[in-house]
Amino acid sequence: MTQAAVLPQFAIQVEAASLCTVNTGKTYQKIQGFGGMNLPEWIGDLTSAQRQKVFGNGKDELGFTMLRIFVNDDSSQWNKAVATAKYAQSQGATVFATPWNPPASMRQNGQKNIYSGTYQLRKDKWSAYANHLNSFIKYMEGQGVNLYSVSVQNEPDYAAEWTYWSTSDLTNFIAQYGKQVTSGTKAKLMSPESFQYKKDIYNSILGNQTAFNNIGVFGTHFYGTQRSQMDFSALENCGKPIWMTEVYVPNSNHDADLWPEAVEVAQNIHNGLTVGNMSAYVWWYIRRSYGPLKENGQISKRGYCMAQYSKFVRPGDVRVDVTEQPTSGVYVSAYKNSKGQVTIVAVNNSDTGYAQQFSVGNNTLTDVDRWRTTSNENLAETDNLTIDSSGNTFWAQLPARSVSTFVCTLKGGSSNNNNNNNNEQNEETTLDADGYYFHDTFEDDLGKWQKHGDTTLLKSGRNPYNGKEAMVVTERTKAWMGAERPLSSAFVPGKAYSFSMNVCEMDGDATDTYYLKLTYKDSSGSQRYSTIAEGVAPNGKYVQLANTNYTIPSDAKDAVIFVETKDSTTNYYIDEAIGAPAGKYIQGAGQPEIPQNNNNNDDPDPQFNENTYPVVTSVEYSDTHQFRIKWTSVPNAQAYGIGYFSAGKWRVYKQDISTNTTSWTSPRLTPGKTYKMVVVAKINGAWDTSKIDNRAISVTIK
C-alpha cells in the first residue's frame, strides 16, 4: 500500500526536531488496556453493532480491551450489565465493576454535598455491604463474566449525588471486610476511585498493611488532575497496578469531533501513562456526544485519538524508555510486545509541524508502519516507512495538532542491557568475592530476571529481606506464573550446585507453599521440570528456598530457574537470589515457624481421589504454544501416562511419568491445532483405561 493511495495530498510545514531514542532495556509498567464505561440503566445499552465497533480491532474499530460496568444497588437490575460484558469478555476485554451506592436498606441520608454525600453506608451494615458486592461478583460469574475486580466506591471524595465515605472509614472497611468482598470468587478488590487522584485515600491504605494486602489494584479518576499531580511515587512503587478508571477530556459540553480539542484526549492518555505509570486508561460513557463513540454509533475524533493507543498498545505490552519531549509540544511514549515490535505514539499538541527522527537504539529495524489522526485524517495508514541506512533510525512528519502511532518491527526482537542471551560478556562463568556465580540483591536493577508467564516484575520499594530493595512479582493469574532466571554456562549439566533465595508473600492466605524449580529441554527436545527446593511460610514472613547439592540433569539444555507457588496467585517478593558451587552454605531466612493454630491450606502433598484413574484438575496454556495438564493423585499408582486420540484409536505418547508429580507439560505444538488427551495411571502393572472416552479432554494450542 503506497502513501499516495492512502493519505490525502496536503502540504505540511515542518521544522526539524532533536533525535527521539527508544531504550528497550529500561522498562516501566505493563499495560492492561484502554476502554470505557457501559451503563444501560442511565443511557441505554450498546447495540450489537456498537459492541463490535468498540471491542473489535479490525478496520475502523476502536480496539478497546477494558470495560467498566455498574454495580446497581438494586440486585434485580444486575442483568442489564450482562450482555455487553459477555461480548466484551469474548473479545478478550478485561471487565471490572464500580458501585455508586449501597442498597437502600444499608444506607442513611446525607446532606447532598461533597462532604456528606446523598447517602452514607450505615456502620452496622459494613458486613452486609461486603456481601452485596460479593453477590454481584458471583452473579456475574454465574452469567459467564469473570470480573477482574470490583471497586469499593465511586468517587467517595466528590459524592454530592452518591455515597460519601471518610478516608478512615474506607481504610477500615477494606482492612476488615476486603477479603469478604472477593471471597469465593476470581475477582480482586479495587481501591476506592478518587475523583481527582487525591492522595489522602491512597496514603491511608498504604499506611495500613492489612488494608493494603486486601487491595489487588488501585483505581482513580482524572477530573481536573494536572500532569504534575499524576506522579505518585509511593503508589507507583507499591507493586500493584494503578488504573485510571474514569474521565472525559477536556469537557462534556462540546462535540467529540471538535478539532484540535480532541488532541487533548491523547495528551491526557500520554500523561497518565508516562507521568502516572497507569496500567489502564478508561473513559467515561463509551457512547455519548462527547465520547469515543458518537450517538450514531460512529467513532468520533476523540475516539480516533484514543484508538491511536488502544489499537496498537495491547494488553501485556510493556512501556519502555524513550525521549519523552524531543521538542516543544511533542510528547512521545513507547511500548514493546512479545512479537519483537516496539510501538511509538507521538502526540504533537503544538501549532508547529515537525520532521522527527526516531531511533530504536541498538536494535535493527525491519519494518515501520504508521497510523495518524489529524484534522482531516482518521487513523490514516502508511506502510513501510523508509528506514535509514543505519538500520536503526527513521524519519516521520508530525503535523501540527496530530497523533501518530508507529509500529516498528525489530530484527530478532528487542535487545537491551538486561536481556538474557548467551554472549560471553554476559556469562557468569567466574566466582565473585563471596564465592558465588551470581548474587541478585535487586538494589539497583532486576538483573537477568524476567517474567515466567504473564506477570510483571518490579523493584518493590518495600519489604526487603536484606538491604533496601527486593523484586516483587505482580499480576499473577496462575500459581505457576512467577519469575525466572536463565543459568549461564557456568552451570554444567550433570554437575551439582548450591542455590538459594528468600521468598515472601504479603497479600495471600495465612500460609503459602513456594517452589524453586528448574525447567529445561531434554535430549529429545521435550520441556522438563524439576524441583530444586520448597518451603512453607506464614504470610508476611520470608522463607529460604535452598539446596546445597542440586544436580542439574545431564541432558539439560536452556536451563532456567523459576519460582512458583502451590495455589495462590497473589504478589510475592524475592530477595538475595544466589547460585554457587555445590556444598556452599548460603545464609538466609531459613524455615520460619508456622503458627500452631494455623490451618495450612498449602500442604505440598498432592490432592488424592478415590478413582483408579487421574482426574484432570486444570489445563494451563503458555505463549510458547505449550500446555500443562494437572491431575489428582491415584493411590498405589506405579506411574502415570499421557494418551492421545488419533485416526480412531487411543495412542500412547508418554508412559513413564513419576508418581512424585501430578503434572505434565507438552512440547511446543502447532498453534490452533486441537488434541484429544487423557491421563492414565498404572496400577498392579496394568494401565487403567476404564471410562477413557468419558474422561478425555480437548486441548487447543494457543
Domains of the chain, by residue range, sit at 3-21+334-358+368-404, 32-315, 424-581, 616-700
Q: How many contiguous H segments (helices) and E segments (strands) does the chain have? A: 11, 40
Backbone φ and ψ for 442, nearest 5 degrees, come out as 65, 15
CATH architecture of 616-700: Sandwich (2.60)
Cα–Cα distance for residue pair 221/37, rounded to 1 Å: 13
- pLDDT for 415 equals 55
Cα–Cα distance for residue pair 261/618, rounded to 1 Å: 50
Q: Which residues participate in catalysis according to the annotation?
A: 155, 246
Residue 329 gets the label, from left (phi > 0), alpha (psi -120 to 50) or beta, of left
CATH architecture of 424-581: Sandwich (2.60)
Instruction: For 430-458, write each residue's pLDDT tens digit.
Output: 788 788 899 999 988 888 999 998 888 88
Cα–Cα distance for residue pair 223/252, rounded to 1 Å: 11
Residue 412 gets the label, from left (phi > 0), alpha (psi -120 to 50) or beta, of left
CATH architecture of 3-21+334-358+368-404: Sandwich (2.60)
What's this model's pTM, rounded to 2 decimal places? 0.63
- pLDDT for 428 equals 62
Do 3-21+334-358+368-404 and 616-700 have matching folds?
yes
- pLDDT for 462 equals 78
Backbone φ and ψ for 211, nearest 5 degrees, come out as -60, -45
- pLDDT for 566 equals 86
Q: Are 408 and 343 in contact (CB under 8 A)?
A: yes
| Fold classification of 32-315 (topology level) | TIM Barrel (3.20.20)
Q: What are the C-alpha distances in Å from 564 to residues 467, 484, 531, 577?
A: 23, 9, 10, 14
Q: In which residue ranges of the chain is pLDDT below 70?
A: 1-17, 414-429, 508, 593-611, 623-624
Instruction: For 578-593, write each residue's pLDDT tens digit.
Output: 999 888 878 888 877 6
Cα–Cα distance for residue pair 518/450, rounded to 1 Å: 14
